[in-house]
Structure 1
Amino acid sequence: MGAGPAAELVRLTGVGRTVVLPDDEDLTILSAVDLTVHGGDHIGIVGRSGTGKSTLLNLLGLLDRPTHGTLEWMGQDVRTLSGGAAARIRGRDIGFVFQQFNLLPGLSALENVVAPLMYATGREFWSRRRIAAEMLERVGLSERLDSRPQHLSGGEQQRVAIARALVRAPRVVLADEPTGALDVETGAQVMTLLDDVSRDSGAALITITHDPGVAAIARRRYRLEHGALHPLDAAA
């Protein structure tokens, strides 16, 4: 028998986000975003500066809530979640990969990857160093466990950031301009790695970027424009 359909993780229906400016005028950043995310998806979202990419990332990462429309996480409307419940989902089920790596400079690569596991429980907590070391080996850094960020190249630092994002086996990985601080060749290698490791773990990967070349590796691609997502040609 073939594998069943992947579970639906996130659904956005007519999602919008409006903020009030200091002069009491409303500014609509997102107006009508529709998107469904299943386990194993790789979605690339391209948009110029000012199109609402950061706002969409904050909504997907449960850092903010829509002002209209519906955002469901595993079938639950996020408007019904308390702040604590949203924080627990972020810590357990959402991994973030940022442009600037955001590694802790005083910690080794291993210690940076261990950090999210400090909030784990049971076997995951007690085996945290082994789990972190295995994840670093998976991203090709088994020889750099004790190296601090300042002694790693940009590409190696981003690999540590990927290992940190994936170490708790999240359901969704959000990558915000993940290659913006890297040269083109290193960026391509990092994107391939991020796609491979996410796919192996069954996580959905959502890459938000201004660079169409970065989004091209995704299997579903969209352009964020005029407050909504517009499908691009399917990946080859």
Structure 2
Amino acid sequence: MSLLALREVTRTVIPQDQPALTILSGVELTIEPGDHVSIVGRSGSGKSTLLNLLGLLDLPTSGEITFDDRPVKTLSSARRDRLRGAAIGFVFQQFNLLPGRTALENVTMPLLYATGRTFWRRKKIAAEMLELVGLGHRLNSMPDRLSGGEQQRVAIARSLVRGPRLILADEPTGALDLDTGQSVMELIDDVAARTGAAQVVITHDPMIARRARRHFRLDRGVLTPVDDPTLEPLTRRHRRETVPVAVADDDAPIDARADGHA
């Protein structure tokens, strides 16, 4: 049974007083439990739109998305929200930490939506997660007293504190230097391996993409598997032979509700 699957997924929007704009076309992607997938694409290729679909924030215009082999379109908006909060963890380029809260309080936030024993043990669970990412000594530090790498580690701890089955990382090292970025990716890989979570990393950096076991390239809304993500994008000749797909600029940040910390 697959964890998440997209079958012939297309996403089209209709701007005001303009013709319909196809952002994704015929996307096929299956994520298995414990999988590790990278998706490389340039600005405007449709990466953010794809991430919104993978994170159950949006529904496709056509095609089907299933989670645990159940069609997502059969779920109400509220049930999709609950499923996303419980099963999907988001790691963003921007850390999105609450400035007036300590590292511990930031990581505790998602557990305010938990129930039963998890809710009552939320501070202990959050502290254990911060210890896991190497910040057990920084529980009471404010975000502005942390380095960029430390802030990203807090963001990772917050994303993973509910034990998600799927980790979606959107340019997770974009705001970090090379060495710090590599250590952050190693941390995400380690936590995913310990918990058995699947990973989907969306990035423009082919070296980050190579860390995955399966690689895809998103070009003008079309997703294709590649053997090596460092390969050059499609040539102009190949572009002419591909069915044209108009793509909107989708580089705007994902809706904050994906973080689960309104």
Answer whether TM exceeds 0.5 for this pair: yes
1:35 counterpart (29, 39, 50): 29
1:20 counterpart (14, 22, 39): 14
Asked whether the equivalents of residues 34 and 228 of structure 1 are also in contact (C-alpha less than 8 Å), the reply is no
1:128 counterpart (115, 119, 122): 122
Cα distance in 2 between the residues matched to 1:24 and 1:81: 31
Asked whether the equivalents of residues 44 and 220 of structure 2 are also in contact (C-alpha less than 8 Å), the reply is no
Asked whether the equivalents of residues 220 and 234 of structure 1 are also in contact (C-alpha less than 8 Å), the reply is no
1:106 aligns with 2:95: no
Cα distance in 2 between the residues matched to 1:22 and 1:195: 42
> What one-letter code is carried by the residue in structure 1 that aligns with 2:140?
D
> What one-letter code is carried by the residue in structure 2 that aligns with 1:182?
L
**CA deviation string 1:49-87 (max 9, x = no partner):** 000000000001111000011111111111111110010
- 1:123 is displaced (CA, Å) by 0.9
- 1:228 is displaced (CA, Å) by 2.0
Q: Which runs of 4+ in 1 moved over 3 A?
A: none
> What one-letter code is carried by the residue in structure 1 that aligns with 2:179?
E
1:91 aligns with 2:85: yes
1:198 counterpart (192, 205, 215): 192
**CA deviation string 1:188-223 (max 9, x = no partner):** 110111111012101111111111111111111110
> What one-letter code is carried by the residue in structure 2 that aligns with 1:214?
I
| Cα RMSD for the two superposed structures | 1.1
Aligned to 1:70: 64
Q: Secondary structure at the match of 1:179?
A: coil
Aligned pair count reads: 229
> What one-letter code is carried by the residue in structure 1 that aligns with 2:171?
E
Cα distance in 2 between the residues matched to 1:234 and 1:126: 46
Q: Secondary structure at the match of 2:126?
A: helix
Cα distance in 2 between the residues matched to 1:112 and 1:30: 34
Cα distance in 1 between the residues matched to 2:103 and 2:207: 29
Q: Which segments of 5 or more consecutive residues in structure 2 lack a partner in the other structure?
A: 230-262
- 1:24 is displaced (CA, Å) by 3.5
Asked whether the equivalents of residues 103 and 138 of structure 2 are also in contact (C-alpha less than 8 Å), the reply is yes
TM-score when normalising by structure 1: 0.95
1:148 counterpart (125, 132, 142): 142
Cα distance in 1 between the residues matched to 2:205 and 2:213: 15
- 1:226 is displaced (CA, Å) by 2.9
Cα distance in 1 between the residues matched to 2:224 and 2:190: 26
Cα distance in 2 between the residues matched to 1:67 and 1:16: 6
- 1:234 is displaced (CA, Å) by 6.2
- 1:231 is displaced (CA, Å) by 1.1
Q: Secondary structure at the match of 1:175?
A: strand
Q: Secondary structure at the match of 1:96?
A: strand
1:158 counterpart (142, 152, 158): 152
> What one-letter code is carried by the residue in structure 2 that aligns with 1:82?
S
- 1:142 is displaced (CA, Å) by 0.6
2:173 counterpart (164, 171, 179): 179
Cα distance in 2 between the residues matched to 1:160 and 1:22: 40
Cα distance in 2 between the residues matched to 1:29 and 1:199: 33
> What one-letter code is carried by the residue in structure 2 that aligns with 1:14?
E
> What one-letter code is carried by the residue in structure 1 that aligns with 2:120?
W
Asked whether the equivalents of residues 39 and 203 of structure 1 are also in contact (C-alpha less than 8 Å), the reply is yes
Aligned to 1:4: none
Cα distance in 2 between the residues matched to 1:227 and 1:98: 21
